[in-house]
Chains A and B, each alone.
Chain A
Amino acid sequence: MSIVIGEVAEELRPAEPIPEGGHVQGPRAGWRLALSSFVENKLAVVGSGIVIFFVLFCFVGPFIYRTNQVDTNLLNSFQAPSSQHWLGTDSYGFDELGRIMKGGQAALEIGFLSSAIATVLGTLVGAVAGLVGGVIDGILMRFVDILLSLPLLFVILIISNRYNGATVLSLSIIIGAFSWLVSARLVRGEVLSLRVRDFVLASRTMGANKRHLIYKHLIPNALGVVIVNITFQVADAINLLALLGFLGYGLNYPNVSWGDMLSNALNYLSDGYWWVVYPVGICLVLVVMAFNFIGDALRDTVDVRLRRR
């Protein structure tokens, strides 16, 4: 047995000194990490593509593919797709493709607007309930419970029946006013779990007030679930709008929604006028699905806890 117990001299120390705390790995911005994980999700990329396509299609499309969507022309009704009317015409003689664009505008506008209303309202109520707690939390959440137990569709039908002349704005407000409940619950839960986390305690030991806690820690950290929820809310709003339209409580002339179009068209499906049903139906399904894809991918992306080092 022979062990060489080498007396290693001082000059044999590592060539370059290591920082006392060790090196820090190379720079990677948070948003880039998020983007890369978002892009890795193929469905999310497809979903974003579809949404971008539809935004361009509905809002830029009418400037390229010009159609008359104001005057009915019964002589021109139920034309089959041709070079003049790419997707044919409907029962009033409106160009179907142009009509889908116009309906899409309404769908996207109402989708975004109502989800914006719902998110702001829901986040506010949820954050207050979660942070303040106690009696206020109890009252707000019972209020949410009561609203959730109302048959939403009835209420909307009654309101839109009572006030004639539904516009994009009024419908957005109605839908928004009824869909903030879910986000209020979500945000409250998130805030409840965040407010007892160590980094919030650390901030309190520095002397931070409630305002600072809300803006610096609670909102940025709860934002993830809120953003994810927005996408699902857009999808839900578009579906709800279609349903209202289908039931005949949608937008009034000259506005149109995909729901109205479907409801009109179904009467003629048996007559073989397929172009008044399938294109608009496919559009509706595609847009709603795309928003759901994006929501799923965002959920994975914004959650820092899931990120790989």
Chain B
Amino acid sequence: MPPVLDIDHLSTHIQLRKSVVQAVGDISLTIEPGETLGLVGESGCGKSMTGLSIMRLLPNGGHIVEGSITVDGVDVVKLSEREMRDVRGNDVAMIFQDSLTSLNPTMTIGKQIAEQVRRHRSVTRKVATERAAEVLGIVGFPRPRERLANYPHQLSGGQRQRVMIAIALSCDPKLLIADEPTTALDVTIQAQILGLLDDLKERLGMAVLLVTHDMGVVAGRADRVNVMYAGRMVETAPTKELFARMHHPYTQALLGSIPLLTQERHERLFSIPGIPPDLTEPPKGCRFAPRCTRATDQCREVEPALEPASTDHWFSCWHPVDGPIARVVVASPTAADANGSGTGVTATSVGGGAAPAPLAPAAIVPERQWEAGADDANLLMIDQVVREYPVTAGILQRRVASVKAVSDVSFTVGRAETFGLVGESGCGKTTLGKVIVGLEKADSGNVTLRGTDITKLGERELRRFRRDLQMMFQDPIASLDPRMRVGAVLREPMQVQGIGTHKQQEEVIAELLSEVGLPMNAVERFPHEFSGGQRQRIGLARALTLNPQVIVADEPVSALDVSIRSQVLNLMKRLQQTHGLTYVVISHDLAVVKYLSDRIGVMYLGKLVEMGSGDDIYHHAVHHYTAGLIATVPEPDPSRERAKSEIGIRGELPSPVDPPSGCRFRTRCPAAQDVCAEVEPPLRLFHPGHYAACHVPLQEPMPEDGNEPAVSAVSAPSGL
């Protein structure tokens, strides 16, 4: 059978005003019918441009310089624009990352699907609508006929992505290009959508080109994987072969820099130094050479060709590696972590050998030396915090309901400890983070730092107190004022708090920059002149300026590329160790949270449903939500991924305006019983330090002390 897609020596360039970006350079690949090909690499490496080249939907200035793209026997590069329109959506369909902007907000989804059908098939409106209902059914909409009249805004993100897939499927394409189809979705929904794509491929026999940055996603779903770097194909192999015996150092490094759920958390992550090259002037030799630890003069002078290691495994490298890096990069921590609540991370050099030695704390921002004592275990206490946002209606702004963002959450974080908060988006973890740093007022409950209740502080006292509670933001570009130079950004905290003279402030800035691994000339630059990882370093430096006790990191690495992510994670760990910082890390990524945290709290719809050490949570999950969440995290390990039989968590997050009675998870829980709807489960102890709130737990709780209520609820039969 001829391949569905055959790309031969494709090069795509993008003309800018003054330069040419060589986005795709000399790429060849084929996809057989019914096959899923994974295309992985970091952002800006040309994988999306490859997808867009096939559709001939390149951005302004983009053009195919040479090569051919044969779709089902036809070279689409040679087609006229009019002929191309017949190919798009018909032979080749594409789904994008952002399903909200990809759908027309003013048209019902039924019309949008039917439009596509009528464009390519000469059928009546009625037949097209029939077809629309049919494909909506295929992508998993219950009662599809009723859904045809919905507008995109009436659907959730996962449902919109299903509609996008339905539109793509409506004309039975031979090839489906999925460009980061699940990146904008929650892990639980991601698992559902990926399962759907897999299922459709089986049933309809189409070929799928899965473009993603997530090695975990390709591990489970792709038959073969192509790795791209800086516009070049650097390695291609069947999935299992690639993960087990990769030969290109980039593939190895990419995989090595992902934190694993199974990973020992005191291990330092492997990281690739530097950033990908500027493709307007790509390096002469191997494009990975500047970041490669194995690079020689040969690598810097002559570009290696794609060579076969076996018939279906090709790579381009002068000094290939053999297999993944062992996960023990740094020697295990010594006995030091036995000291109570210490971080347990021993002094290990970090950062490609260029890491500066830890500096003495700046003289002008006094490192507050707290006497060690019982307080250390209770540095930060969150006690029964409730935060609800009113929903108002009418001109009188009458309060009709409330969004229950955080409902009665309590936990304690010790000094130099890291507490991780995980959950789907909309579970209230970001709101809780804002309450902790005092950006949001709690409706009730207390946040106590070293014995001071910050919810009771007056405006003025709170402002002074804030130096101890800093925040690290998700989007590094949005959190830096575009009109301030980096020097001013780092000076601002000291100015606000009135600390130090101009000269002293300058010394602190210099120290901070070297500590987060940025060159001194950064002071003069504006934030937009930095790469994403560098900006996040600036954000971290700013949070450190006031020597805070606690840093709340809200999705600190979600906006970053995999290789940069591990650099920032390593940096966060190192800074924690040198400054004795306490972190509250908020993330939807269980692997990141587990890697950083001593203890983890799992939130669901405003409630803390489970809390315990990383190992408690991962190996002995008690709550069904936690277990489902762990099952949905895509792991970069093909054998583990394929062994996963179920889809994890069914359905979508209910509305926080009107949460389910009793246990809020019961609507999606596989073990839900009558009692779950009637009684709200209390947090019970399952292991020293391991709590969970579930009537039908996955393991037996520890015997009660006797004075806690609601024990009777456990008498319901379990394990059905």
Interface residue ranges, A against B (CB under 8 Å): 1, 3-6, 8, 12-14, 17-25, 27-28, 30, 197-199, 201-209, 212, 216-217, 220-221, 304-305, 307-309
Q: Which residues of the partner chain A approach B352 to less than 8 Å between Cβ atoms?
A: 17-18, 20
Q: Is the CB of A202 within 8 A of B471?
A: yes
In the assembly, what is the distance between CA of A209 and CA of B517, in Å?
31
Is B690 at the interface (CB under 8 A from chain A)?
Answer: no
In the assembly, what is the distance between CA of A25 and CA of B527, in Å?
12
In the assembly, what is the distance between CA of A19 and CA of B354, in Å?
6
Cβ contact of A207, chosen from B273, B464, B484, B518, cutoff 8 A? B464
Known: A18-B354, A206-B466. A30 touches B534 (CB 8 A): no
In the assembly, what is the distance between CA of A202 and CA of B274, in Å?
27
Known: A3-B309, A20-B355, A24-B518. A207 touches B471 (CB 8 A): no
In the assembly, what is the distance between CA of A5 and CA of B292, in Å?
15
CB proximity of B130 to chain A, nearest CB, Å? 45
List residues 496-527 of chain B with CB under 8 A from any CB of chain A: 496-497, 516-519, 521-522, 524-526
Is B93 at the interface (CB under 8 A from chain A)?
Answer: no
Q: Is the CB of A205 within 8 A of B439?
A: yes
Q: Which residues of the partner chain A approach B534 to less than 8 Å between Cβ atoms?
A: 21-22, 24
Is B368 at the interface (CB under 8 A from chain A)?
Answer: no
In the assembly, what is the distance between CA of A217 and CA of B478, in Å?
13
Q: Is the CB of B351 within 8 A of A20?
A: yes
Interface centre among A13, A207, A212, A307 (most CB of B within 10 A): A207
Closest to B568 in A: A21
Given contacts A24-B529, A307-B528, 15 further A-B contacts (CB under 8 A): A3-B247, A4-B319, A6-B294, A8-B296, A14-B292, A17-B352, A18-B291, A19-B519, A20-B567, A24-B521, A201-B471, A202-B473, A205-B469, A207-B496, A221-B481
Q: Is the CB of A304 within 8 A of B319?
A: no
Q: Is the CB of B321 within 8 A of A5?
A: yes
Cβ contact of B273, chosen from A20, A204, A221, cutoff 8 A? A20
Closest to B319 in A: A6
In the assembly, what is the distance between CA of A243 and CA of B321, in Å?
79
Number of A-B residue pairs at CB separation under 8 A: 159
Closest to B474 in A: A198
In the assembly, what is the distance between CA of A212 and CA of B309, in Å?
62
Q: Is the CB of A305 within 8 A of B482?
A: yes
Q: Which residues of the partner chain B approach A21 to less than 8 Å between Cβ atoms?
A: 516-519, 533-534, 537, 567
In the assembly, what is the distance between CA of A207 and CA of B539, in Å?
16
Q: Is the CB of A220 within 8 A of B519?
A: no
Q: Which residues of the partner chain B approach A8 to less than 8 Å between Cβ atoms?
A: 293-294, 296, 319
List residues 443-472 of chain B with CB under 8 A from any CB of chain A: 462-467, 469-471
Closest to A216 in B: B492
Known: A22-B531, A206-B496. A3 touches B322 (CB 8 A): yes
Interface residue ranges, B against A (CB under 8 Å): 16-17, 247, 273-275, 290-296, 308-310, 318-322, 351-355, 434, 437-439, 462-467, 469-471, 473-475, 478-484, 492-493, 495-497, 516-519, 521-522, 524-526, 528-531, 533-534, 537, 539, 542, 546, 567, 571
CB proximity of B307 to chain A, nearest CB, Å? 9
In the assembly, what is the distance between CA of A202 and CA of B539, in Å?
9
Cβ contact of A19, chosen from B318, B467, B517, B542, cutoff 8 A? B517
Closest to B548 in A: A205
In the assembly, what is the distance between CA of A217 and CA of B308, in Å?
56
Main secondary structure of the interface of A (DSSP, over half): loop
CB proximity of A201 to chain B, nearest CB, Å? 6
Q: Is the CB of B497 within 8 A of A18?
A: no
Please, could you name 29 A-B residue pairs with CB atoms under 8 Å apart, sorted by A?
A1-B310, A5-B321, A5-B322, A8-B319, A13-B353, A18-B274, A20-B352, A20-B355, A21-B534, A21-B537, A22-B273, A22-B275, A22-B531, A23-B519, A24-B522, A197-B478, A198-B479, A201-B471, A202-B473, A202-B542, A203-B492, A203-B496, A205-B470, A206-B493, A207-B496, A207-B497, A216-B484, A220-B481, A221-B483
In the assembly, what is the distance between CA of A6 and CA of B292, in Å?
14
Q: Is the CB of B438 within 8 A of A205?
A: yes
Closest to B466 in A: A207
Cβ contact of B530, chosen from A4, A24, A202, A307, cutoff 8 A? A24
Closest 10 CB pairs of A and B: A20-B517, A207-B463, A198-B479, A207-B466, A21-B517, A8-B294, A20-B351, A198-B478, A6-B319, A206-B493
Closest to B470 in A: A205
Q: Is the CB of A27 within 8 A of B533?
A: no
Main secondary structure of the interface of B (DSSP, over half): loop
Q: Is the CB of B525 within 8 A of A27?
A: yes
Closest to B17 in A: A308
Q: Is the CB of B354 within 8 A of A304?
A: no
CB proximity of B494 to chain A, nearest CB, Å? 9
CB proximity of B293 to chain A, nearest CB, Å? 6
Q: Which residues of the partner chain A approach B290 to less than 8 Å between Cβ atoms?
A: 14, 18
Q: Is the CB of A24 within 8 A of B294?
A: no
Closest to A221 in B: B483
Q: Is the CB of B479 within 8 A of A28?
A: no
Q: Is the CB of A5 within 8 A of B320?
A: yes
Q: Which residues of the partner chain A approach B438 to less than 8 Å between Cβ atoms?
A: 205
Q: Is the CB of A18 within 8 A of B482?
A: no
Q: Which residues of the partner chain B approach A17 to less than 8 Å between Cβ atoms?
A: 352-354
Q: Which residues of the partner chain B approach A25 to less than 8 Å between Cβ atoms?
A: 525, 529
Q: Which residues of the partner chain A approach B320 to less than 8 Å between Cβ atoms?
A: 3-6
In the assembly, what is the distance between CA of A23 and CA of B537, in Å?
13
Known: A4-B320, A13-B293, A21-B516. A205 touches B482 (CB 8 A): no
Q: Which residues of the partner chain B approach A6 to less than 8 Å between Cβ atoms?
A: 294, 318-320
In the assembly, what is the distance between CA of A221 and CA of B495, in Å?
19
Q: Is the CB of A14 within 8 A of B295?
A: yes
In the assembly, what is the distance between CA of A308 and CA of B466, in Å?
36
Closest to B278 in A: A25
Known: A12-B295, A24-B529, A198-B473. A19 touches B518 (CB 8 A): yes
Q: Which residues of the partner chain A approach B533 to less than 8 Å between Cβ atoms?
A: 21-22
CB proximity of A81 to chain B, nearest CB, Å? 46
Closest to A199 in B: B481
CB proximity of B176 to chain A, nearest CB, Å? 33
In the assembly, what is the distance between CA of A204 and CA of B471, in Å?
10
Q: Which residues of the partner chain B approach A207 to less than 8 Å between Cβ atoms?
A: 462-467, 496-497
Q: Is the CB of A206 within 8 A of B529?
A: no
CB proximity of A23 to chain B, nearest CB, Å? 7
In the assembly, what is the distance between CA of A124 and CA of B380, in Å?
41
Q: Is the CB of B522 within 8 A of A199?
A: no
Q: Is the CB of A206 within 8 A of B492?
A: yes
Closest to A6 in B: B319
Cβ contact of B528, chosen from A208, A216, A309, cutoff 8 A? A309
Known: A18-B273, A19-B518, A23-B519. A206 touches B546 (CB 8 A): yes
CB proximity of A269 to chain B, nearest CB, Å? 48
In the assembly, what is the distance between CA of A85 and CA of B185, in Å?
76
Cβ contact of B479, chosen from A13, A199, A308, cutoff 8 A? A199
In the assembly, what is the distance between CA of A131 and CA of B638, in Å?
53
Closest to A25 in B: B529
In the assembly, what is the distance between CA of A305 and CA of B542, in Å?
22
CB proximity of B493 to chain A, nearest CB, Å? 4
Q: Which residues of the partner chain B approach A206 to less than 8 Å between Cβ atoms?
A: 466-467, 470, 492-493, 496-497, 546
In the assembly, what is the distance between CA of A245 and CA of B529, in Å?
50
In the assembly, what is the distance between CA of A307 and CA of B527, in Å?
12
Closest to A13 in B: B293
Q: Which residues of the partner chain B approach A208 to less than 8 Å between Cβ atoms?
A: 463, 492, 496
Q: Which residues of the partner chain A approach B528 to less than 8 Å between Cβ atoms?
A: 304, 307, 309
Q: Which residues of the partner chain A approach B479 to less than 8 Å between Cβ atoms?
A: 198-199, 201-202
Q: Which residues of the partner chain B approach A307 to less than 8 Å between Cβ atoms?
A: 528
Closest to B570 in A: A20
CB proximity of B716 to chain A, nearest CB, Å? 44
Q: Which residues of the partner chain B approach A30 to less than 8 Å between Cβ atoms?
A: 483, 526
Interface centre among B273, B275, B475, B522 (most CB of A within 10 A): B273
